[in-house]
Chain A
Amino acid sequence: MDTTQLLKGVLDLAVLAVLQEEDGYGYDILRRLREAGLEEVGDASVYGTLRRLFAAGLLTTYVVPSESGPHRKYYALNAAGRDQLTRSGKLWRSFATTMDSLLDDRGMAA
């Protein structure tokens, strides 16, 4: 199992988490995810996730003109998005804890 497959399930959560910290545009979000350690995440995955979250009504967008180069489309969490982040975050925590203890019990080193 490689990271890409694991990412599929949690990319929503990762993107929501990154956006809670600060609004961001496509490439900026990708860069922040990579800086956070998700180096294998691809632009298409992030872009697709953003489109889906936006379509689901969890994000709002606004355009900021840029002096150098094309204007940027910023994504921001709305109330529904923050709500979703809280729920998904809790779910992930309990899931991760379960997985950790499962592995710990069987003597797997972290």
Chain B
Amino acid sequence: MTVTEQEITDYVARVRAALADLPATQRDELTEDLADHLAEFAAETDGTLVERLGQPETYAAELRAAAGATGRGGRNLDQRVASVVARLRGRLRVIDTRLGPVLGYETASEFLRLLRPAWWVLRGYLAAMLVTVISTGGSFWLLPRFGGELLAGLFMLVGFVLASVWLGRRSARLTRWPRWALHASSLVLVIFALAALGNAEDRLGYTDYYYDQTSVDSQYSQIRDVFVYDREGRLVEDARLFDQNGNPIRLGYPDCSRPVDEYGNPLLRPYPYCVEQAPFGHRAPGAVVPTPTVTPGSTATPGSTVTPGPTATAAGAPTATPTGEPTPTPTS
């Protein structure tokens, strides 16, 4: 035997390369025992493979013609889809028989068949929950409710479970389209179940972790801004709130645009965020101080508490301004 194993391997590799345009299954089918065949061939003849058989590419062309493999475009889409489906089926069957013994049954599908009635019951429950979600507008817990009614929901649950079991026992006798419809709706329910499960998981995590804060949040959740008024009813601007530990109390969120934001982080801003939205009216910063400047004009009449009239109109509480004890400004 003059032909080495390496020579055979190389020859097969080149034949396979020349058949690269064939679908993988077909190429494997043609070449899976080519190496054995060539070894057999080489054992009975003298000379190298190329001397005896010609170039691998020529060999591949002859092989392709003899095996009836046409290559590109040789098979239409239907055939290719069919072959993929057939291959998947074959693979599933292998998995089925492999998994069976692990579960203690001959095949895994035998075990799954036993679980079918359980699936029918679950399907009825899921259908009831889907109706619950639709009829209550998205809020649900573990038991079905029909439009918020628990009793009606339980009746619905029993009805759906019975209907699902009934359908399950008869699904084999259904004709093609009803069976497709049943499968499709089951798929919808499975997707719904997965989404609901994800949702419930989120909610559980949320209540676990934020339990204390949610109760507080709910009480102040509609607060957008804080307005502090002093004893006289004047709006305090740039106020800051702290709790007993010195931690800043943050409430609301600035939703009005300030032209210059000197605080960077909007949540570090003092209250109120939006002076213009003060519920009891406000005084522009400049208007608090001017009280004295008004008096000079009215020739320093001590005790004339009436003069600051103009400011009083601006402020919501008229009593607020006069406390300024109109200190007589030096008469010039």
Contacts and interface: CB of A to CB of B under 8 A. Distances in A.
Interface string A27-61: 10000000000000011111111011001000000
Interface string B254-289: 000000000000000000000000000000000000
A26 interface: yes
A26 B41 contact: yes
A48 to B, nearest CB: 3
Interface stretch (B59-67, B80-88, B139-147, B233-241): B59-67
B99 interface: no
Nearest to B68: A52
B36 A70 contact: yes
Contacts of B53: 42-44
A44 B30 contact: no
A49 B66 CA distance: 5
Interface string B20-54: 00000000011001101101110111000000111
Interface size class of A (residues with CB under 8 A): 20 to 34
Contacts of A11: 66
A31 B73 CA distance: 35
Contacts of A87: none
A67 to B, nearest CB: 11
Contacts of A69: 1, 39-40, 43-44
A26 B62 contact: no
Contacts of B39: 69-70
Contact of A72 (B34, B40, B63, B68): B40
Nearest to B45: A27
Chain B facing A: main interface SS: helix
A90 interface: no
Contacts of A25: 40
Contacts of A49: 66-67
Interface in B141-166: none
A27 B43 CA distance: 10
B69 to A, nearest CB: 8
Contact of B67 (A27, A51, A68): A51
A73 B37 CA distance: 8
Most A CB within 10 A of own CB, among B34, B40, B54, B66: B66
A48 B64 contact: yes
Interface in A51-100: 51-52, 55, 66, 68-73
B66 A43 contact: no
A52 B43 contact: no
B307 to A, nearest CB: 113
Contacts of B36: 70-71, 73
Nearest to A30: B41
Nearest to A49: B66
A51 to B, nearest CB: 5
Contacts of A45: 62-63, 65-66
Contact of B41 (A43, A51, A52): A43
B43 A44 contact: no
Contact of B29 (A43, A55, A68): A55
A51 B43 contact: no
A48 B67 contact: yes
Contact of B37 (A8, A42, A47, A66): A47
Contacts of B43: 66, 68-70
Contacts of A48: 30, 62-67
8 contacts: A44-B61, A44-B66, A47-B63, A55-B29, A69-B43, A70-B36, A73-B37, A73-B40
Interface of A: 8, 11, 25-27, 42-49, 51-52, 55, 66, 68-73
The 7 closest A-B pairs by CB, nearest first: A48-B66, A69-B43, A44-B62, A48-B67, A45-B66, A70-B39, A48-B63
